[in-house]
């Protein structure tokens, strides 16, 4: 198996000018994810787990290190050096990110939120427009059903949803794009047991479909049997004793 | 999940778009008010904010460079007086730039500096290529003409002579920006500020311009109208692949709309990046201050 993602010596600190303070993100991280693998990251909150994921997604700009990603379109590419346009392309077609927080357009229904996400990665074809549209619609319906999102909710605004409903919608919107690499930032936090199983089921399906995943989980036991390897973080470092 | 990802052919289309040149390239654009002296002619000279300490010249823009790609929304944020509006006005020829170039691949494959075109060419470019929405509706509309003739004027300027077609298009656009059609014949002078702004947007869209310049479009609109306008902007990008530069000091609007964002301060671009990176991990002290002021 070849490495889909290889991180070498990644360090990130935040400097707050107004308070003249240095905040430690993560330090000297080495990490590798092979194609088709599902790798978990555990650790206490504040230990720098999310910093790694966000650096891969280029939301953060790390100070040093390299993040090699084996892209379908660009070949081996360092996410830190990639151009902004390349990152936009990768985010649209290859790398997905699920966070605990939902950000949606105002006055956009739950159904449209997921549909837009599907269309975003299909829209540009004008000839086959309607076929793609119909396919996106049926896929949206299928995913929302899978997540047990009540059909009555589909035409409502997600702002009024409960935390768990929002999260399920969030995951649906990210997963419908079927990314090659999926970054999961605590996708099961604040979910009840039944919903957690739904998420697990979907992750299983994605894994069978060959999707590579790197995820942060508080309750890794829950992912038992699914997770191929895990790294455990402590105060910005990856613990040497990480279970392999 | 279905067996096949439904993105196959589209990747190719987008892949071609990726190798394209930017639709609009602004390169080292400068604009100053005053006589300029030997001291401030040097682009690296230390100024008192944007004022030359020797001759008092105001440098509204200092070597600003931006690129906008097809179907992309570029956000520009910054405090008042940082040169955001001047940048927009220089791009659409409202104001004379003192140096620099604006090129677009839609004119002469990007070989011509638009700022050096003749007045006639500039007018043609402005009417067909750019749609401009001003912060102040009084700059973009003729307040004593009816709303519908304001829109028609733009179409006539680009050579349209079919009254029926222009009328239909105007009404369609007014409807799209939620102006009650029975008021189409009224003058914008009699409209509320939000309505004036929306008539301006309809006017800017009349010729289906490939590039839209939006200067504080949602400022001063109430929240529900703001949401409608944001919807409209996003649907233009989605359905017509329109490229846009969106100037705003409302970070929430920028976060929602822009793919990439540039931050301006004292006439210069001090930081640029992916919008979420600017918001989550700002590098420049001023950007940090700006982001941390967000409610």
Mean pLDDT of B169-175: 92
Tell me phi and psi for residue B53, to 5 degrees: -70, -15
Which 3 state secondary structure label does DSSP give A180?
coil
Cβ–Cβ contacts within 10 Å for residue A49, how many? Answer: 25
Mean pLDDT of B212-236: 84
The pLDDT, as a whole number, for residue B246 is 95
Mutate: best of B276, B284, B291, partner A, most A CBs <10 A = B276
Q: Which residues pair with B64 in a beta bridge?
A: B29
The pLDDT, as a whole number, for residue B74 is 96
The pLDDT, as a whole number, for residue B54 is 87
Could you tell me if B136 lies within 8 Å of chain A, comparing CB atoms? Answer: no
Mutate: best of A125, A133, A139, partner B, most B CBs <10 A = A125
Could you tell me if B69 lies within 8 Å of chain A, comparing CB atoms? Answer: yes
Q: Name which residue leads in pLDDT, B219 or B118.
A: B118
CB B271 within 8 A of CB B287: yes
CB atoms A14 and B227 under 8 Å: no
The pLDDT, as a whole number, for residue A129 is 62
Chain B contact set for A177 (CB, 8 A): 7
Chain A contact set for B70 (CB, 8 A): none
Q: For residues B37 and A103, what is the distance between their CA atoms, to the nearest angstrom? A: 50
Mean pLDDT score of chain B: 86
The pLDDT, as a whole number, for residue B295 is 66
CB atoms A121 and B285 under 8 Å: no
pLDDT in tens, A79-109: 988 999 999 989 988 999 988 777 777 778 8
Cβ–Cβ contacts within 10 Å for residue A166, how many? Answer: 19
CB atoms B238 and A123 under 8 Å: yes
How many angstroms separate the CA of residue B163 from the nearest CA in chain A? 30
Mutate: best of B277, B280, B292, partner A, most A CBs <10 A = B277
Nearest residue on chain B to A12, judged by CA atoms?
Answer: B281
CB B26 within 8 A of CB B93: no
Tell me phi and psi for residue A3, to 5 degrees: -75, 125
Mean pLDDT score of chain A: 84
How many angstroms separate the CA of residue B59 from the nearest CA in chain A? 27
User: Which residue from B1, B230, B277 is facing A209, i.e. has the nearest CB?
Assistant: B1
Beta-carbon contacts of residue B259 (< 8 Å; ≥ 6 apart): A88, B72, B73, B74, B274, B275
Cβ–Cβ contacts within 10 Å for residue B107, how many? Answer: 18
What pairing do the DSSP bridges indicate for beta strands B243-247 and B211-215? parallel
Q: Which residues pair with A142 in a beta bridge?
A: none
CB atoms A58 and B274 under 8 Å: yes
Beta strands in chain B (DSSP E): 24-33, 58-68, 73-78, 99-104, 130-133, 211-215, 243-247, 260-265, 268-274
User: Which residue from A85, A124, A132 is facing B69, i.e. has the nearest CB?
Assistant: A85
The pLDDT, as a whole number, for residue A3 is 87
Q: List, edge to edge, every strand of the sheet that includes B58-68.
A: B58-68, B24-33, B99-104
The pLDDT, as a whole number, for residue A240 is 60
User: Which residue from B6, B17, B292 is facing A136, i.e. has the nearest CB?
Assistant: B6
The pLDDT, as a whole number, for residue B11 is 39
- Cα–Cα distances (Å) from B118 to B29, B112, B113, B122, B124, in that order, read 19, 11, 11, 6, 10
CB atoms A105 and B231 under 8 Å: yes
Which 3 state secondary structure label does DSSP give A219?
coil
Nearest residue on chain A to B253, judged by CA atoms?
Answer: A105
pLDDT in tens, A185-221: 888 777 788 888 888 888 888 888 888 999 988 776 7
pLDDT in tens, B225-238: 788 888 888 888 87
- pLDDT band of residue B14 (cuts 50, 70, 90) is very low
Q: Which residues pair with A7 in a beta bridge?
A: A31, A67
CB B213 within 8 A of CB B92: yes
Q: For residues A234 and B12, what is the distance between their CA atoms, to the nearest angstrom? A: 43
Which of B162, B160, B156, B154 lies closest to B131 in space, CA to CA? B154
Which 3 state secondary structure label does DSSP give B177?
coil
Question: What's the half-sphere exposure (Cβ side, CA atoms, 13 Å) at B282?
Answer: 23
Could you tell me if B240 lies within 8 Å of chain A, comparing CB atoms? Answer: no
Q: Name which residue leads in pLDDT, B17 or A226.
A: A226
CB A83 within 8 A of CB A169: no
- Count CB pairs under 8 A between chains A and B: 88
The helix/strand count (H/E) of chain B reads as: 12, 9
Structure tokens at B216: 């504080």
Where b means 16+ CB within 10 Å and e means fewer, B271-285 reads: bbbbbbbbbebbbee
CB atoms B13 and A107 under 8 Å: no
Nearest residue on chain A to B289, judged by CA atoms?
Answer: A18
DSSP B107-150: TGGGTS-GGGS-HHHHHHHHHHTEEEE-SSHHHHS-TTS-HHHH
Which 3 state secondary structure label does DSSP give A113?
helix
Range of lowest pLDDT (B8-12, B70-74, B194-198):
B8-12
Q: Judge whether residue A171 has pLDDT over 80.
A: yes
Q: Judge whether residue B50 has pLDDT over 70.
A: yes
Q: H/E element holding B205?
A: helix B193-205
How many angstroms separate the CA of residue B243 from the nearest CA in chain A? 14
Long-range contacts of B158-162 (CB under 8 A, 24+ apart): B158/B124, B158/B127, B158/B128, B158/B207
Beta-carbon contacts of residue A83 (< 8 Å; ≥ 6 apart): none
What pairing do the DSSP bridges indicate for beta strands B73-78 and B243-247? parallel
The pLDDT, as a whole number, for residue B15 is 44
What pairing do the DSSP bridges indicate for beta strands B260-265 and B268-274? antiparallel
User: Which residue from A87, A136, A205 is facing B1, i.e. has the nearest CB?
Assistant: A205
Which of B295, B258, B264 lies closest to B277 in space, CA to CA? B258
Nearest residue on chain B to A25, judged by CA atoms?
Answer: B281
Q: For residues B217 and B80, what is the distance between their CA atoms, to the nearest angstrom? A: 15
Could you tell me if B7 lies within 8 Å of chain A, comparing CB atoms? Answer: yes
Range of lowest pLDDT (A147-151, B88-92, B154-158):
A147-151
ipTM: 0.84
The pLDDT, as a whole number, for residue A68 is 94
Mutate: best of B5, B271, B279, partner A, most A CBs <10 A = B5
Q: For residues B164 and B168, what is the distance between their CA atoms, to the nearest angstrom? A: 6
């Amino acid at each position: 198996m070849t490495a889909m993602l290889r991180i070498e010596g990644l360090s990130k600190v935040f400097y707050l000018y107004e308070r003249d303070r240095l905040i430690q993100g993560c330090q000297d991280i080495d990490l590798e994810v092979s194609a088709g693998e599902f790798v978990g990251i555990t650790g206490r909150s504040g230990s720098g787990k999310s910093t790694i994921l966000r650096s891969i997604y280029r939301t953060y700009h790390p100070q040093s290190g390299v993040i090699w990603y084996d892209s379908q379109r660009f070949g081996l590419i360092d996410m830190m050096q990639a151009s902004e346009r390349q990152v936009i392309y990768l985010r649209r077609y290859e790398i997905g990110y699920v966070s605990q927080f939902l950000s949606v357009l105002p006055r956009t229904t739950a159904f449209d939120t997921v549909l837009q996400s599907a269309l975003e990665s299909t829209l540009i074809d004008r000839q086959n427009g309607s076929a793609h549209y119909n396919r996106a619609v049926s896929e949206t319906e299928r995913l929302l059903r899978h997540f047990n999102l009540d059909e009555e909710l589909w035409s409502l605004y997600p702002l009024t949803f409960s935390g768990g409903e929002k999260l399920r919608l969030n995951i649906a919107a990210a997963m419908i794009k079927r990314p090659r690499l999926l970054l999961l930032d605590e996708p099961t936090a604040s979910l009840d047991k039944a919903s957690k199983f739904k998420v697990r089921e979907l992750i299983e399906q994605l894994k069978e479909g060959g999707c590579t995943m790197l995820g942060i989980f508080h309750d890794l036991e829950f992912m038992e049997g699914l997770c191929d390897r895990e790294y455990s973080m402590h105060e910005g470092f990856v613990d040497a004793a990480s279970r392999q | 999940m279905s067996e096949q990802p439904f993105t196959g052919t589209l990747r190719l289309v987008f892949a071609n778009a990726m190798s394209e040149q930017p639709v609009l390239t602004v390169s080292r654009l400068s604009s100053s008010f005053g006589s300029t002296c030997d001291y401030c002619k040097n682009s690296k000279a230390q100024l008192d904010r944007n004022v030359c300490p020797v001759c008092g010249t105001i440098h509204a823009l200092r070597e600003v460079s931006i690129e906008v790609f097809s179907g992309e929304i570029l956000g520009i944020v910054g405090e008042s007086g940082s040169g955001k509006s001047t940048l927009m006005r220089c791009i659409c020829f409202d104001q004379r730039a003192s140096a620099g170039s604006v090129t677009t691949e839609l004119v002469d494959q990007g070989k011509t500096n638009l700022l050096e075109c003749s007045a006639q060419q500039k007018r043609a470019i402005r009417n067909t290529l750019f749609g401009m929405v001003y912060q102040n509706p009084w700059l973009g509309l003729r307040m004593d003409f009816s709303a519908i003739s304001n829109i028609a004027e733009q179409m006539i300027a680009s050579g349209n002579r079919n009254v029926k077609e222009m009328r239909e298009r105007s009404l369609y656009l007014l409807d799209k920006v939620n102006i009650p059609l029975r008021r189409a014949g009224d003058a914008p002078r009699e409209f509320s500020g939000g309505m004036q702004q929306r008539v301006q947007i309809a006017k800017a869209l009349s010729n289906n311009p490939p590039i839209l310049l939006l200067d504080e479009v949602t400022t001063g609109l109430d929240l529900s109208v703001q949401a409608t306008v944001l919807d409209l902007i996003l649907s233009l990008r989605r359905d017509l692949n329109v490229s846009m530069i969106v100037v705003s000091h409302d970070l929430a609007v920028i976060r929602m709309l822009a793919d990439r964002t540039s931050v301006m301060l004292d006439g210069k671009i001090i930081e640029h990046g992916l919008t979420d990176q600017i918001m989550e991990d700002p590098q420049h002290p001023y950007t940090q201050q700006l982001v941390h002021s967000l409610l």
